[in-house]
Structure 1
Amino acid sequence: MDRIDIAKKKHLPRILATLQQLGIYNDQLEIQFLGIKSQQLLQLWVRNTGDTSFQLYQQFPLTAFSGTLGPKEKEGDLQIPEGNYYINRFNPKSKYHLSLGINYPNEEDLFLGRTGSDIFIHGGSTSKGCLAIGDEAIEIVYLLALMAKDNGQKEIPVQIVP
């Protein structure tokens, strides 16, 4: 069994029950993330396709934090970026259990001369500019992101604020 199948076996019944409690249909699921650096939290928000507002699904504490408040400026500065991004890749074989890539640097970052690469939401408890949330949490987050993608959500927003 691969990591995703194991995660489904562990978490899918609870995920589906929580979505149902929120009035979210799993085949209409859309999600977005809000990373709050000052609180060291990642929030996951959900809605049905076509709804105008999102509901908070769950908050996940960061298991590691690097850098300080303020944007990522260059490769190797250990800063977590700040801005509006989206998930640009799914990595089921990450060295941090599972991971979701963030499109850093985006166009605004490039315009401002910011550099860097390989920023992820991932499992584990170490960070060099990423949003580390632990293995259990990334399993839940990854499954919900995969469901949203499979339902046709082309871009999954990730907003990171100080």
Structure 2
Amino acid sequence: MRFLLIALLTLTALTGCSRFIEYDGPQVTRVIVHKDDRLMYLMHNEEILEAYEFELGFAPEGHKLEEGDGRTPEGEYMIDRRNPNSAYYLSIGIDYPNEEDIAQARARGVSPGGDIFIHGTPRPFRRDDDWTAGCIAVSNRDMRQIYAMVEDGTPISIYP
């Protein structure tokens, strides 16, 4: 009996710590990111469903031009993939680079880079310390919600 109680308590504790949560609210129709304000909005048409603070790449100003520049892209993109085993808790991918980004980088003779994600963080979230290589980092708690709410194929608008 004691073993059964311990097993039940352990299972309950582990279930409560899951990275994955369920979402059954309105569909997120667009993600809007304002880099200067460090605010990201999950939208259902014109309604703000959620707002999140975030951290950026180590060179946060301007559009990403090439691999290794530490900038976060600006423009219109799509959420195109998710990684439940991310080194940064959970992550959802942004389809950077697009054809225009590739053409501009090619004209300069550089790689545009890639692997831009919205992800959690392996360290305490501080908002005032940009550290990623161009990704958008939110707290792990916020990332659980974002991962549950935002589907692949969702448009994302990233503004300066």
- TM-score of the alignment, normalized to the shorter chain, above 0.5: yes
Q: Which runs of 5+ in 1 are unaligned?
A: 47-52, 150-154
1:54 is matched with 46
Query: Using the alignment, how far apart are the partners of 2:72 and 2:56 within structure 1?
Result: 11
**SS of residue paired to 2:36:** helix
Q: Is the 8 A contact 1:74 1:116 kept in 2?
A: yes
**SS of residue paired to 1:7:** coil
Query: Using the alignment, how far apart are the partners of 1:65 and 1:76 within structure 2?
Result: 10
Equivalent in 113, 119, 124 of residue 122 of structure 1: 119
Q: Which runs of 5+ in 2 are unaligned?
A: 1-13, 106-110, 126-130
**SS of residue paired to 2:147:** helix
Query: Cα deviations across residues 92-115 of structure 1 (Å, max 9, x unaligned)?
Result: 000101000111101121122260
Equivalent in 43, 52, 62 of residue 70 of structure 1: 62
2:101 is matched with 109
The alignment covers a number of residue pairs equal to 134
Structure-2 change in CA distance of 1:110 and 1:6 (3 Å):
closer
2:20 is matched with 7
Structure-2 change in CA distance of 1:40 and 1:6 (3 Å):
closer
Q: Is the 8 A contact 1:66 1:80 kept in 2?
A: no
TM-score, normalising length: structure 2:
0.74
1:134 is matched with 139
Name the one with the larger helix percent. 1
Q: Is the 8 A contact 2:97 2:114 kept in 1?
A: yes
Task: Measure how far apart 1:54 and its partner are.
Answer: 3.0
Query: Using the alignment, how far apart are the partners of 1:6 and 1:56 within structure 2?
Result: 24
Query: Using the alignment, how far apart are the partners of 2:80 and 2:20 within structure 1?
Result: 21
The ranges of structure 1 where at least 4 consecutive aligned residues each deviate by more than 4 angstroms after the TM superposition are: none
Task: Measure how far apart 1:68 and its partner are.
Answer: 3.0
2:5 is matched with none
Task: Measure how far apart 1:161 and its partner are.
Answer: 0.6
**SS of residue paired to 1:109:** helix
**SS of residue paired to 1:141:** helix
Equivalent in 140, 158, 161 of residue 159 of structure 2: 161
Question: 1:143 aligned to 2:148?
Answer: yes
2:30 is matched with 32
TM-score, normalising length: structure 1:
0.73
Task: Measure how far apart 1:6 and its partner are.
Answer: 4.0
Structure number with bigger Rg: 2
**SS of residue paired to 1:128:** coil
Task: Measure how far apart 1:69 and its partner are.
Answer: 1.9
C-alpha RMSD over aligned residues? 2.4
Task: Measure how far apart 1:62 and its partner are.
Answer: 0.5
